[in-house]
Structure 1
Amino acid sequence: MSDAIDPVPAQRDESASHALRGWQGKLFGLLCVLYAAWHLYSLNIAPLETWLFRILHICGALVLGFGLTSVLLTGPDNRLRKVAMERSVALIAGLPVIYALVLTLYGVFQYWNAGTVENPDTTFAYFGVSLAAGTLLAIVAGWFLRGNEGRISSIDWVLVLASIASTGFIALSLDALNLRLRAGTPFADPQNAWAAFVAMALMLELTRRVAGLALVAIAAIFVGYAFLGPWLPGFLEHRGYDAKRFFSYVFTDNGILGPTTAVSSTYIILFIIFAAFLQSSKVGDYFVNLAFATAGRARGGPAKVAVFASGLMGMINGTSAGNVVSTGSLTIPLMKRVGYRSQSAGAIEAAASTGGQIMPPIMGAGAFIMAEITGIPYTDLVIAALIPSVLYFVSIYFMVDFEAKRLGMRGMTSDEVPKFRKLARQAFLFLPIFILVGSLFLGYSVIRAGTLAIASAAVVSWLTPFRMGPLQIIEALRNASQMSIQIITVCATAGIIVGVISLTGVGARFSSLLFELAETSKLLALIFAMIISIILGMGMPTTAAYAVAASVVAPGLIELGIAPLIAHFFVFYFAVVSAITPPVALAAYAGAAIAGAEPMRTSVTAFRVGLAAFIVPYMFFYSPGLLMEASWIEIIRNAITAIIGVYFLSGAVQGYLMSPLAPVWRILLLGAALCMISGDWRTDVIGIVLGAALWLKSRHDVERVAREA
């Protein structure tokens, strides 16, 4: 293990992450390895009690997160003075935090030895106030002060200790202070409420560092809503809650310890470890090389490579923006080299990477959250997702191809792409994916199937020059923990929102509002649900975006009589595409940064390229056969007409079929595409006839130009 450990990637330019060196780098490198290994051990060999396991899962993410992220830079001037000030503030904040930590450890020691805590009201009388005062001071000071690069700042050490003290006290409270029975009631323990408040503050601060302010702002609005309910109008009004009841309730399985953390502590962490093993064994590189060999020499080849490679890698990667960074660093420069504009290159990569989140069998872990929330078997969700994901990627492929035709682009030369024959002999590198999918369909649990896939990635590496020995496995575990911090943190923060929705009942009120809209028009209700899902998802990773939208929007759609499978896929798609929806389009902004393009223009272009994702949910609402919810004849008919529809849609957006299209023909072609949405055979016939006529006209124009030439 090297002495230096890389930081958690920050999402904003002004944040300062540093590489830890010396004993701190070794310590946190070891903690990262132990954190990932502990999950594998607990999930497969020695399961812990559910609440305790989730609390420790969050505690580990907070400790690693504050150790591996840096505080905000304030500039190079007066460095020594600022370091001295930072240490002084850390000392002032650290003393009450250490006092609270000592009390927590003393309580754990008592409970471990005697099975009870003597005089808890007296023992912990000043626990909460001390912990909260020290933690809040450290958080605020961390916005302005920093220490030397290459080490953890004194303020971050205070936050590490506060993470242990707050989550440790909540874990102690499970049985010793009857947390399960008293949380969220008037009889809740006030010290437990203080600990939950501090833990939530720490989660919001870490979320700010690793994911930006969008999710923090949304969570803060929901927390404010819990207290301001009595003064709000209309369906938003509720009776309001005091702080003790609110904070103790939210840190239970109705909120932070609920579905979002349940999934991040099992499925998400497992598949992040799987992705880390694929990277370490270079199996992930094989996916990208195969995409280059398959599509690189085609017209506009690098863009088509981005479609394939981002789909393969994105289904494993849990964030659209993270997928853009990992594959876009390779595909975007190549797209620019063959003639794509900077904003188009960034947009195509962003749209393709976002599509990876809807690509089975993993769907960026979204399938596992959906299975957890709906109770629908995972295998049924994977099968249902097949046709919609194909439609999305086929649409992007058509968009790319039409633009390449319009601009007269070339593909890559034979010397620039890997040899397909050579890669075909390495097809065994797909074995981990085959084992994963096969195990799931044979009835193995997701955890067991994922563990087998992880092991198979290590075994397969021995058939390549990149053999995974003990050091490589340790490195993969370390990388997995670093990769997981962002998504674990945002899932926990999303749990705050879920807890508020559960406590206040605003989800049910929203359902009634949708029901009223549906009396006017069901399509209007769907459009409203789409807008809310996109707004809730803006600035958030896929898993958190879907978890929130599923709590607010999906129940309302189900009340309208929409099948749970369709309702949840509907909100899932729009939660996913929020990553390419202006004005907060994180995936598009990541692509723009790599391409050197203007972010807003790139986001608008990405929205246009991924337009099919905004149409497909309406298609499977009107044509359930697209989710395999019909007879085979109807499924096949729906699939074929839908592919024709997205072909027409792509041509209308790009203004090109066999030749450039005038505005009036683009409008007619768009009309033909929209005719294919309803699934009714009569509108399908109208759309096909109209689209075919326009295609023939476009071809005739090409032939006429050729004759004149």
Structure 2
Amino acid sequence: MSNEVNDIQENTAPVADVEVGTAADVEEMMKKFDRESNTRVYTGVPQKIVRYALSAFTLFMIWMNLFSTWDERIRRCLFLGFVFLLVFALFPIKKGKLRENHIPIYDIFLGVVGAGSFFYYVFNFDSIVRRATRINTLEIALGVIGIIVLVEACRRVVGIPIICVASVFVIYAFASGSSLKKVIYNLFYTTTGVIGTPIGVCSTYIVLFIVFGAFLEATGISDFFIQCANSVAGAAVGGPAKVSVISSALCGMVSGSSVGNTVTTGSITIPMMKKTGYPGEFAGAVEAASSTGGQIMPPIMGAAAFLMAEFCGVPYSNIVVRAILPAFLYFMGIFLMVHFRAKKLGLKGIPKDQLPKLGKLILTKGFLLVPLVVLVYMIIQGYTMSRSAIIATGLAVVVSLLNKDNRMTLTGFVNALENGGKNTLSVAVACAMAGIIAGVVTMTGLGQIFISAIVGLANGRLLVALILTMLCCILLGMGVPTTANYVIMATTCAPILITGMGMNPIAANMFVFYFGIVADITPPVALAAYAGAAIAKANPMKTAFNATRLAIAAFIVPYMFAYNNAMLFIDTNAFDVILIVITSIVGMAAIAAGLEGFMFRHMNMPMRLVSAAAGLMLIKPGIITDAIGFGLIAVIIAFQFMMEKNKTKAAA
């Protein structure tokens, strides 16, 4: 993220007459709230050592996924061992001013012993596997050390909430009668614990898609998306905000990081919005909400689409199709709210003569989309996701050579490797902690107990189960990388909805994914909103509440498809799909108008409430609710035109 922050002053130069945050402002804000941004300062030779270590780690992971035939447990332990070495080299024990080029001896010790506990497993793999549960005292001690060091790494890189949750699960394991030996064996030496499914997914799929995103961004595709959005929506009413919505949806889809994407695209779009006349809190919120939503945008969904296909056991193309309408409604909601706000404030767009031409952009820079198109095509054709991601990454390097404005040099190549490696660390640590939770669930049978408890508490009411799941997702998602948060939710909460409440597996996984994402804009730990506030020079908490309101669709749509899978195009037909699309769009327009207090003219509070209620009726699939919704909207429109007519007569 530091490279993205350093570009802010250059990107915002054309609108320097607007007060916006500098790179230093954003860095200060992120170090205060975002643990991933709080890294040690290296210069000179130490900086090069760290830089090339991260690059070597990335290359090793690519090699291991392409050519290695090692047992999956060996590969996962090697992955975590290197992650530990890099985490303690990069992340200090606490926030604050740091000595340049300095690593305390205790951090060197923690990195070495933490990595050593996993490397021991690698070098003694055959012996440990042959002995099964008969691990010796040394191996128990190493398991304890490995888990303790993992917790400290998580505290530094991810945060406290997930540690608290994992600790409760481990305490339950001991309270249920499990011995230390049994707990350590299951959590450290089997594929149901730390080196279980979450870290397996991370070391194969997630890391490669993070690297792909880093290389794709290095080609200049973010600037291409922003320019395309400018050409499409820049001249419209409140154009810069609409540009932010479109460009952030496209860029966030690839980057997989709501915070990183807010910094990257927000450095351009937020000053443009402020110059147009949008308040700072609103401008920062638009960018944060849009960047966060980029991760639900098909076909990439910040790598989650590929993970969801794995968890649900369905083809990747199946997930992409199901995600289209919910994602469309999310961005339609934000787009309409900025439209109504612009109409309400009387804001204009950017003069057309200052905007690029879409046709020219496609002809001159359209080749930047080739890696993205090839990636999707290969996966649909049945190639493995790992191989597809690596080939697409290679294509990103090739197409960058054709882009004279962002041609990838050797330095740019190493930068992409470095960024890919660094961005992997927090996700890896979070996934390893998720493995502890999943391991305890498997070892103790807690999953079935948990399901029975939630089902009993809900008393057969799906709404209660959904609300409890939503709160859990938002809580665990605070400060946790989105992809890792989804892995946690898919292994803990989704089974409750599937087994306990009988939900469709895709609907359940999509539900937990949506609410894991909105944690990035939901107070009190709304990292994406804080990043937007730093650029906009606005109040962070006000920006977060604005972002939450803008992303209202993310709080509504999941409940709708949970109750009626037709919104995900499951068990439906063409006519129903067309009807759902039309009613959902009109419904989001009514909700947006109600929240902003403006449709064709200003609306009073009763009219706003009626408009929002009409929108909810239309979004919920069903003939009766649709009829009620259209009827209420017709009344509002008639009333607004009547008021406008009376105003015109009075003025005459």
**Same fold, TM-score > 0.5, yes or no:** yes
Cα shift at 1:342: 1.9
1:272 aligns with 2:210: yes
CA–CA distance in structure 2, aligned partners of residues 71 and 682 of structure 1: 58
The answer to which structure, 1 or 2, has the higher relative contact order (CA under 8 A, 6+ apart) is 2
Equivalences for 1:178-577 in 2 at 5 Å? 178=129, 181-182=132-133, 187-227=134-174, 229=175, 239-251=176-188, 252-414=190-352, 417-425=355-363, 426-465=365-404, 466-559=406-499, 560-577=501-518
Aligned to 1:84: none
Q: 1:153 aligns with which of 97, 104, 110?
A: 104
Cα shift at 1:515: 2.4
Cα shift at 1:558: 1.4
Residue identity opposite 2:140 in structure 1 = A
Per-residue CA deviations over 1:336-359 (Å, capped at 9, x if unaligned) read 222222221222112111111111
Residue identity opposite 1:21 in structure 2 = T
Per-residue CA deviations over 1:161-186 (Å, capped at 9, x if unaligned) read 2233111112234222337822xxxx
**Aligned 8 A contact 1:226 1:504 in 2:** yes
Cα shift at 1:302: 2.1
Per-residue CA deviations over 1:22-71 (Å, capped at 9, x if unaligned) read 33223222222221111211212334321111111111121122222234
Aligned to 1:53: 75
Query: 1:316 aligns to what SS in structure 2?
Result: helix
Cα shift at 1:527: 2.5
Name which of structure 1's ranges 16-25 and 640-649 shifts more when overlaid on structure 2.
Answer: 16-25
1:656 aligns with 2:598: yes
Query: 2:314 aligns to what SS in structure 1?
Result: coil
CA–CA distance in structure 2, aligned partners of residues 220 and 54 of structure 1: 22
Cα shift at 1:395: 0.8
Q: Say what the alpha-carbon RMSD is for the aligned residues.
A: 2.5
**Aligned 8 A contact 1:623 1:679 in 2:** yes
With over 3 angstroms needed to count, the CA separation of the structure-2 counterparts of 1:242 and 1:432, relative to structure 1, is same
1:589 aligns with 2:530: yes
Gaps of 5+ in 1: 1-5, 76-145, 230-238
**Aligned 8 A contact 1:507 1:553 in 2:** no
Residue identity opposite 1:269 in structure 2 = V
CA–CA distance in structure 2, aligned partners of residues 308 and 448 of structure 1: 30
Query: 1:698 aligns to what SS in structure 2?
Result: helix
The sequence identity of aligned pairs, in percent, is 38
1:42 aligns with 2:42: no
**Aligned 8 A contact 2:65 2:386 in 1:** yes
Name which of structure 1's ranges 20-29 and 261-270 shifts more when overlaid on structure 2.
Answer: 20-29
Equivalences for 1:66-81 in 2 at 5 Å? 66-72=88-94
With over 3 angstroms needed to count, the CA separation of the structure-2 counterparts of 1:418 and 1:206, relative to structure 1, is farther
Name which of structure 1's ranges 513-522 and 284-293 shifts more when overlaid on structure 2.
Answer: 513-522
Name which of structure 1's ranges 559-568 and 326-335 shifts more when overlaid on structure 2.
Answer: 326-335
Cα shift at 1:447: 1.5
1:600 aligns with 2:537: no
With over 3 angstroms needed to count, the CA separation of the structure-2 counterparts of 1:21 and 1:483, relative to structure 1, is same
CA–CA distance in structure 2, aligned partners of residues 161 and 610 of structure 1: 43
Name which of structure 1's ranges 362-371 and 469-478 shifts more when overlaid on structure 2.
Answer: 469-478
Residue identity opposite 1:546 in structure 2 = Y
**Aligned 8 A contact 1:16 1:69 in 2:** yes
Cα shift at 1:707: 5.4
| Bigger Rg over Cα | 1
Per-residue CA deviations over 1:338-394 (Å, capped at 9, x if unaligned) read 222222122211211111111111211222222222222222111111111111111
Per-residue CA deviations over 1:572-601 (Å, capped at 9, x if unaligned) read 211222222223323223322332322222
**Aligned 8 A contact 1:588 1:602 in 2:** yes
Cα shift at 1:292: 2.4
CA–CA distance in structure 2, aligned partners of residues 622 and 512 of structure 1: 21
Query: 1:676 aligns to what SS in structure 2?
Result: helix
Aligned to 1:103: none
Residue identity opposite 1:434 in structure 2 = V
Paired residues, number: 619
Residue identity opposite 2:169 in structure 1 = F
Aligned to 1:634: 576
Name which of structure 1's ranges 416-425 and 278-287 shifts more when overlaid on structure 2.
Answer: 416-425
Residue identity opposite 1:58 in structure 2 = L
CA–CA distance in structure 2, aligned partners of residues 636 and 190 of structure 1: 64
**Aligned 8 A contact 1:211 1:486 in 2:** yes
1:682 aligns with 2:620: no
Q: 1:29 aligns with which of 48, 51, 57?
A: 51
CA–CA distance in structure 2, aligned partners of residues 597 and 408 of structure 1: 22
Aligned to 2:41: 19
CA–CA distance in structure 2, aligned partners of residues 387 and 286 of structure 1: 25
With over 3 angstroms needed to count, the CA separation of the structure-2 counterparts of 1:566 and 1:178, relative to structure 1, is same
With over 3 angstroms needed to count, the CA separation of the structure-2 counterparts of 1:248 and 1:520, relative to structure 1, is closer
CA–CA distance in structure 1, aligned partners of residues 389 and 239 of structure 2: 33
Equivalences for 1:69-108 in 2 at 5 Å? 69-72=91-94
CA–CA distance in structure 2, aligned partners of residues 180 and 288 of structure 1: 57
Cα shift at 1:672: 0.9
Cα shift at 1:542: 1.4
Per-residue CA deviations over 1:286-326 (Å, capped at 9, x if unaligned) read 12222223222222222212211211121222332232222
With over 3 angstroms needed to count, the CA separation of the structure-2 counterparts of 1:707 and 1:45, relative to structure 1, is farther
Cα shift at 1:706: 4.9
With over 3 angstroms needed to count, the CA separation of the structure-2 counterparts of 1:600 and 1:471, relative to structure 1, is closer
**Aligned 8 A contact 1:179 1:188 in 2:** no
Residue identity opposite 1:221 in structure 2 = V
Residue identity opposite 1:217 in structure 2 = C
Aligned to 1:140: none
Name which of structure 1's ranges 520-529 and 51-60 shifts more when overlaid on structure 2.
Answer: 520-529
CA–CA distance in structure 2, aligned partners of residues 419 and 396 of structure 1: 25
Query: 2:235 aligns to what SS in structure 1?
Result: coil
CA–CA distance in structure 2, aligned partners of residues 211 and 553 of structure 1: 20
Gaps of 5+ in 2: 1-5, 7-26
Residue identity opposite 2:114 in structure 1 = S
Cα shift at 1:691: 1.4
Name which of structure 1's ranges 504-513 and 258-267 shifts more when overlaid on structure 2.
Answer: 504-513
**Aligned 8 A contact 2:584 2:619 in 1:** yes
Per-residue CA deviations over 1:260-306 (Å, capped at 9, x if unaligned) read 11221111111111112122222232122222232222222222122
Cα shift at 1:667: 1.2
Aligned to 1:672: 614
Report the TM-score when normalising by structure 1.
0.82
Residue identity opposite 2:438 in structure 1 = V
1:622 aligns with 2:569: no
